[in-house]
Amino acid sequence: MTSNWRMLRVVLLCTVCLLGWADDPGHHQVLVLHSYHQSYSWTANIHAAMVRTLQGSEAGVDIHTEYLDWKHYPTQEMLDRHREMILAKYRNVRFSVVLTSDNAALEFALRQREALFPGVPIVFCGVNGWRPDLYGKQDNVTGIAEQVEGSGTLALALNAHPGTKKVLVICDGTETGQEIRQDVAQSLAKLDLLPEITYIGKESTQDLLQLLLKEPPSTLVFLALFGNDTSGRFLDLWEFPELLSKLDMKAPVWVLYEEALGHGVVGGHLQGGERQGTLAAGQALRIIQGEKAASIPVVAVPTVQWVFDDRQLKRFGINPSLLPRDSVIRYAPPTFYDRNRTWVLGSLYFLVIGFTIAVGWTLVLRRTVKQRTEKLREELGARVRAEADLEQTVGELQHSLAMVKSLSGLLPICGHCKKVRTDEGYWQGVEQFVTEHSDAQFSHGVCPECVNIYYSGWKPPRA
């Protein structure tokens, strides 16, 4: 019973593992196969750019990564072990595309393609000496060739150091180093009036350092590649320049690879792992989105950029005006803004807020003043109109008063003779009093009662 239970647990565990490695139906599976180890700066930059590009897309990508570590273990036995491991590890994974970096990984992928990922498109980068027939006829293969550009760098270096009498070109004895040497030689053949050029780099690290330490300022050092010396020592792209920077060497050092920048070299028209990885991942996304690898041409031109170390430009008195317009200058001393970025941004923020408040308050005041001014204008107009009406009314009243005199109050009048007493105490006849105190006029006649009393016998004449 116990053994059956154990067997059941083993079966369940295997099932879970197989399901874990099976395809995610909502994502594209991408295998990234690197020639070198993970900590190698060139490989690390390629991988970081690939991951950033793939995961930054909306395609939905799961990335699987393997390192052949060819610089440390360049044997067929190790390649066979990688083959068996990849075969077992990804047996149930269907890849949409395989990405490789540098020659060893591409050669391995092409040779083991039918066994490991038959028919899967391959996108390469970092391949030296690329030509269409490099690995025979292959379908569904495209990528980014690693082309260096030595002529532009050397031409600029000679212009920046007009007193140069000799150029030392450093290329190690590895297969990659010799391929780069051929590329450099072809690039330099394009230049005219070159000083003496000597190729070195097959010495041990210590011997090479001692040799370079003796060179005068009139020598220009052109470091193409030095990753393995005759003693079997492996160096990263930045390590040998770093060793040179610790010596009291007077000769300027120009390079081909961006990974060496910041370690005592001037710079140049540099090849970089980041650009290689970004471009290769971009081609992989195009394949994932439906394009055929065969329809995407191989990028066989140098993917380089002008990059320089500001500290070395100043050290050797190189005028920045000599540099190409699209140059990138790194390691420059921090500006006032760089040193006080938080303070500057904070001050700018409060200035903007204060300015915004001031502008807003000004607009509110202007609107309020405008409204009040319009209201005052309306009130003033109304008052002016009212005063005009009042003046007209007063004029009319004055005119009426001038035309009318009125009698008011109690009039003392005699009950017998009907005379009226004035304010001065005199007695006046009614007719005289009324005439003096009003505009009334009298016309005399006789009423019928008085006619009967006073003129009883009189008859008016007939007409």
We report the CATH number of the domain holding residue 318 as: 3.40.50.2300
Segment 183-204 mean pLDDT: 85
- Residue 367 is assigned to a structural domain of this protein: no
- Residue 373 is assigned to a structural domain of this protein: no
Choosing from 145, 180, 203, the residue where a domain stops is 145
Q: Which residue has the higher pLDDT, 358 or 232?
A: 358
Which of these, 33, 37, 39, 49, lies nearest to 273 by C-alpha position?
49
- Residue 450 is assigned to a structural domain of this protein: yes
> Do 91 and 154 share a domain, yes or no?
no
> Do 160 and 124 share a domain, yes or no?
no
Residue 287 confidence class, pLDDT cut points 50, 70, 90 = very high
> Do 433 and 460 share a domain, yes or no?
yes
> Do 129 and 57 share a domain, yes or no?
yes
The whole-number pLDDT of residue 9 equals: 54
Segment 112-132 mean pLDDT: 93
Its pTM stands at 0.70
> Do 169 and 52 share a domain, yes or no?
no
> Do 126 and 48 share a domain, yes or no?
yes
> Do 173 and 132 share a domain, yes or no?
no
User: What average pLDDT does the structure give for the chain?
Assistant: 86
> Do 211 and 131 share a domain, yes or no?
no
- Residue 354 is assigned to a structural domain of this protein: no
- Residue 199 is assigned to a structural domain of this protein: yes
The whole-number pLDDT of residue 167 equals: 93
Q: Which domain, by its residues, includes 323?
A: 150-272+297-339
Residue 18 confidence class, pLDDT cut points 50, 70, 90 = very low
- Least confident among 16-30, 108-122, 361-375: 16-30
Number of domains in the chain: 3
pLDDT score of 22 more than 50: no
Percentage of the residues of the chain whose pLDDT score is greater than 90? 52
- Residue 13 is assigned to a structural domain of this protein: yes
> Do 26 and 116 share a domain, yes or no?
yes
- Residue 284 is assigned to a structural domain of this protein: no
Asked whether the beta carbons of 35 and 74 are under 8 A apart, the reply is no
> Do 94 and 217 share a domain, yes or no?
no
Segment 363-367 mean pLDDT: 89
Choosing from 145, 164, 181, the residue where a domain stops is 145
> Do 268 and 255 share a domain, yes or no?
yes
- Residue 111 is assigned to a structural domain of this protein: yes
